[in-house]
A and B are shown apart, each in its own frame.
With several copies, the nearest count.
Chain A
Amino acid sequence: MIDKQVKTLADAVAGVKDGATVLVAGFGAVGVADDLLEALHEQGARDLVIVANNAGNGDHGLARLLNSGRVRKVICSYPRSGDYSAFLNAYRAKTLELELVPQGTISERMRCHAAGLGGFFSPVSAGTKLADGKETREIDGRLHVFEKPLKGDIALLRADKADRWGNLTYIKSARNFNPVMAMAADLSVVQVNEMVELGSLDPEAVVTPSIFVDRVVVVGANP
């Protein structure tokens, strides 16, 4: 019987290697798998590449990994969000590499990997500093930039409900990056508020199908 639920947060993040690329879902503080990020801190992997929209807040979750010097590089669109002192300190100390990517390009590059494609041409950032060094092509009279697929070794996700196969639903804007990151990592790990019986999620309304999910851990209802 398929059962993707693991008992502990430690089990959920077991096996993450040094140097791993970690997809960190969430937008601002919403839809972020804070408990999995804390567990990853405990787990101890170093030299991580983080893909996220923002770059941590305060000293918990992603910011804690940054403060502990576990992160080699951040691929994000907007580090300056909330109390981003953890990022700022590492950035100023030049102990951290920043790859700044337009927000939609982050998710599209991950979807590109998820869809088994080799890259795409996008008009976003064409002719700007963020396209420096990138291949360009004029298509239908418009300049485009070639963007490569982006994949994660692990995705740290947060959803509302899961069943034992790993079908997922979300709450409101906490959906954000979670579905696309679930598709784009070799190992997709999700913290949920609740496990439900197989068959109790509406087959028309599951947002992330089970095929994209590897491990599920229950962290209890939202605070």
Chain B
Amino acid sequence: MKPLTREQMAWRAAQDLPEGAFVNLGIGIPTLAASYVPADREVIFHSENGILGLGAKPEPGMEDENLIDAGKNYTTLITGGVFVHHADAFLMIRGGHLDVSLLGAFEVSEAGDLANWTTEDPAFPPGVGGAMDLAVGAKEIRVIMDHTDKKGNPRILRHCSLPLTAAGCVKRIYTNLAVIDVTPHGLFVVEMVDGMTLEKLQAITEPELQLANSWQALAPPAAIAA
């Protein structure tokens, strides 16, 4: 059984972004998803600092000092993209104008509660950024995260142990082992990596998992960086 790499997780999430969707990609793995949108689809990426139509990383030497993304990395604007001011960028987020918000997370509960803004490390000041705005506003909130923490403890929990970002918001979780839908009837596994079983997955997941009737293999194409 081979867990997905970060790139493969991003690839998987990207496959679910439909033609014409407006999407915000959170900092970290979600950002990588931009590269894996199928070539025949137009998906428009939103950046909280005021960009609608975020493009790829600029070629070396082509960086524009006035053009950065939410992660403060140099970026580009695609044809048709526009600039807006900050309050309008968050009106788009909070007002349900984005089709998908793809976020990183520390923990997700079986009710779809999301914890992704603080680990409560007393040595450092907390920072929330746009996490809470992104977690309430989009038409659909999806999470990308490793299935367990570094010690192998579950991150999909009955109740989040860390402070919440927002309650009951997550609809789909992409992990390095599975794709799981959060529904009013519980958590449904819709895809698992080759060699994974519901039993093994359940062992590293706190709340009860059910296998969707239509479940299938989670199998990125060989070309996606391993």
Direct contact of A and B (CB under 8 A): yes
- A174: chain B residues at CB < 8 Å are 66
Question: Which of B19, B64, B68, B72 touches A2 (beta carbons < 8 Å)?
Answer: B19
Q: How distant is A148 from chain B, measured CB to nearest CB, in Å?
A: 15
Report yes or no: A115 in contact with B68, Cβ–Cβ below 8 A: no
**CB neighbors of A among B104-121 (8 A):** none
Let me know if A167 is at the binding interface, CB within 8 A: yes
Report yes or no: B127 in contact with A111, Cβ–Cβ below 8 A: no
Let me know if A114 is at the binding interface, CB within 8 A: yes
**If A116-B91, A175-B85 touch, does A130 touch B72 (CB 8 Å cutoff)?**
no
In the assembled complex, the Cα of A102 lies from the Cα of B125 at a distance in Å of: 14
Q: Which residue of A lies closest to B120 (CB)?
A: A129
**If A107-B90, A176-B50 touch, does A128 touch B66 (CB 8 Å cutoff)?**
no
Let me know if A179 is at the binding interface, CB within 8 A: yes
Report yes or no: A199 in contact with B80, Cβ–Cβ below 8 A: yes
Let me know if A20 is at the binding interface, CB within 8 A: no
In the assembled complex, the Cα of A204 lies from the Cα of B51 at a distance in Å of: 10
**CB neighbors of A among B24-78 (8 A):** 42, 44, 46-53, 64-68, 72, 77
Question: Which of A126, A163, A207 touches B85 (beta carbons < 8 Å)?
Answer: A207
Question: Which of A116, A122, A180, A222 touches B66 (beta carbons < 8 Å)?
Answer: A222
Q: Which residue of B lies closest to A105 (CB)?
A: B133
Report yes or no: B90 in contact with A176, Cβ–Cβ below 8 A: no
In the assembled complex, the Cα of A212 lies from the Cα of B85 at a distance in Å of: 15
Q: Which residue of B lies closest to A91 (CB)?
A: B125
Let me know if B186 is at the binding interface, CB within 8 A: no
In the assembled complex, the Cα of A183 lies from the Cα of B96 at a distance in Å of: 10
Bits for A120-141, please: 1 = Cβ < 8 Å to B, else 0. 0011111111100000000000
Report yes or no: B125 in contact with A124, Cβ–Cβ below 8 A: no
Q: Which residue of B lies closest to A76 (CB)?
A: B127
Let me know if B167 is at the binding interface, CB within 8 A: yes
Report yes or no: A173 in contact with B49, Cβ–Cβ below 8 A: yes
Q: How distant is B70 from chain A, measured CB to nearest CB, in Å?
A: 8
Q: Which residue of A lies closest to B84 (CB)?
A: A209
Stretch with Cβ within 8 A of A (4 or more), from B147-155, B158-166, B190-198: B158-166
Report yes or no: A210 in contact with B80, Cβ–Cβ below 8 A: yes
Report yes or no: B129 in contact with A103, Cβ–Cβ below 8 A: yes
Q: How distant is B19 from chain A, measured CB to nearest CB, in Å?
A: 7
Report yes or no: A78 in contact with B64, Cβ–Cβ below 8 A: no
Let me know if A27 is at the binding interface, CB within 8 A: yes
Stretch with Cβ within 8 A of B (4 or more), from A7-15, A63-71, A81-89: A81-89
Let me know if A98 is at the binding interface, CB within 8 A: yes
**If A81-B72, A128-B164 touch, does A203 touch B44 (CB 8 Å cutoff)?**
no
Q: Which residue of B lies closest to A182 (CB)?
A: B85
Let me know if A16 is at the binding interface, CB within 8 A: no
In the assembled complex, the Cα of A53 lies from the Cα of B83 at a distance in Å of: 18
Let me know if B22 is at the binding interface, CB within 8 A: yes
Q: Which residue of B lies closest to A164 (CB)?
A: B80
Q: How distant is A169 from chain B, measured CB to nearest CB, in Å?
A: 11
- B165: chain A residues at CB < 8 Å are 128
**CB neighbors of B among A68-113 (8 A):** 77-82, 87-88, 91, 98, 100-105, 107-108, 110-111, 113
Let me know if B178 is at the binding interface, CB within 8 A: no
Question: Which of B72, B83, B86, B90 touches A29 (beta carbons < 8 Å)?
Answer: B72
**If A82-B72, A130-B128 touch, does A114 touch B91 (CB 8 Å cutoff)?**
yes
**If A78-B127, A108-B90 touch, does A172 touch B64 (CB 8 Å cutoff)?**
yes
Let me know if B137 is at the binding interface, CB within 8 A: yes
Report yes or no: B77 in contact with A172, Cβ–Cβ below 8 A: yes
Report yes or no: B87 in contact with A116, Cβ–Cβ below 8 A: no
Report yes or no: A165 in contact with B80, Cβ–Cβ below 8 A: yes
Report yes or no: A127 in contact with B128, Cβ–Cβ below 8 A: no
Report yes or no: B85 in contact with A173, Cβ–Cβ below 8 A: no
A to B CB contacts below 8 Å, 13 in the list: A2-B19, A29-B68, A81-B127, A102-B131, A102-B133, A108-B90, A122-B94, A165-B80, A167-B82, A172-B83, A198-B80, A211-B22, A211-B46
Measured CB to CB, the residues of B under 8 A from A are 19-20, 22, 42, 44, 46-53, 64-68, 72, 77, 79-87, 89-98, 124-133, 136-137, 163-167
